[in-house]
Amino acid sequence: MMSSNYTSIDNQKVSGSVPAVTDSGNVPVKFAAFTLFVRLFLRVESNLRTFPPSETQGKIAGASRPPRDADDTFSKPSTGSDEPQPSSWFKVFSVAAYKPYFDVDTSDVLERIKESLFPWKGSFAEMISNNPDLYGPFWICTTLIFIAASMGTIVTYVAHKLKNKEWNYDISLMTWSAGLFYGYVILIPVCLYFILKYFSAPSGLVQLFCLYGYSLFVFIPAMCLSVVPLEIVRWIVAAVAGFMSASFVAINLKAHITSAGERWVLIVAAIFVLQVALAIVLKMCLFTVTV
């Protein structure tokens, strides 16, 4: 009687009722498939807990080395490999490519600044060979821009007031200083980089940027002293600053450029003259006032 009642319920189309399972033989099959799925899931989950494998962890956790410039250091010769690296140039458009060159401590920057004030040592190139930075050169140039503009403004203001003349602020001092210092510290190392390549004495481009950037630090105190309203003092300050900066670059590059052959003297002389010319340009354009 019980079975007949269930049969009649199954055959009726009652609204809201749940259809009965007609084939009970599928239940064990479905349960077995579900059990197999659970076992596979637990096995995959246990494997993920131990990811990555031990040998992979060793590679990931390995110590990373600081980036090296394309031409290595000043002192080490080039490997002579002419194999093309098409993907290497795309790194210049990535911020991560420049991050290691700004990873320096204050003590490192101060040590390099102190080294630039003693040009006769000639050990600056060796100091930055493995870890050149762009942090110091960037802030040295930026500081020079503001000091040159402010000191030049003070000089012109004092000169006009001593003559009882009307004085107007010249905004072009700021833009002119930015173009001069940023342009000099970028264009000169790039030109020197290709010249040394031509004479088979390649050096690292980042090392050149670093060297020229720190060579300009001596102009910061020189510009502060140029506020003195005496023309002879300004010329002496410009001459001393230019000589120190030129000696710093020439001496540190001499040991490397000697591998360029007999013409190394001309290259070093040109480097020296360019640094002195920069000092003269600063004196004539910023600290020569006509009222």
pLDDT in tens, 198-232: 877 777 889 999 999 999 999 999 988 888 878 89
User: pLDDT tens across 70-93, in order?
Assistant: 444 444 444 444 444 445 566 666
Provide the sign of the torsion angle of the four alpha carbons 215, 219, 220, 225, taken in this order. Answer: positive
* DSSP SS3 for 276: helix
Mean pLDDT calculated for residue range 131-138: 91
Which one is predicted more confidently, 263 or 7? 263
Question: What are the residue boundaries of the structural domains of the chain, listed by start?
Answer: 104-286
Q: What is the pLDDT of residue 137?
A: 93
4 Cβ neighbours under 8 A, 6+ residues apart: none
Cis peptide bond upstream of 52, omega within 30? yes
Mean pLDDT calculated for residue range 114-142: 89
Q: Which amino acid is at 286?
A: L
Give 96's DSSP letter. G
Q: Residue 236 belongs to what H/E stretch?
A: helix 231-257
* 287, 155 contact by CB (below 8 A): yes
Q: Which amino acid is at 234?
A: R
Give 19's DSSP letter. P
Q: What is the pLDDT of residue 67?
A: 43
* 246, 221 contact by CB (below 8 A): no
The tokens describing 93, both together, are 């458009």
Measuring CA to CA, which residue among 79, 62, 92, 67 is closest to residue 202? 79
Q: What is the pTM of this model?
A: 0.65
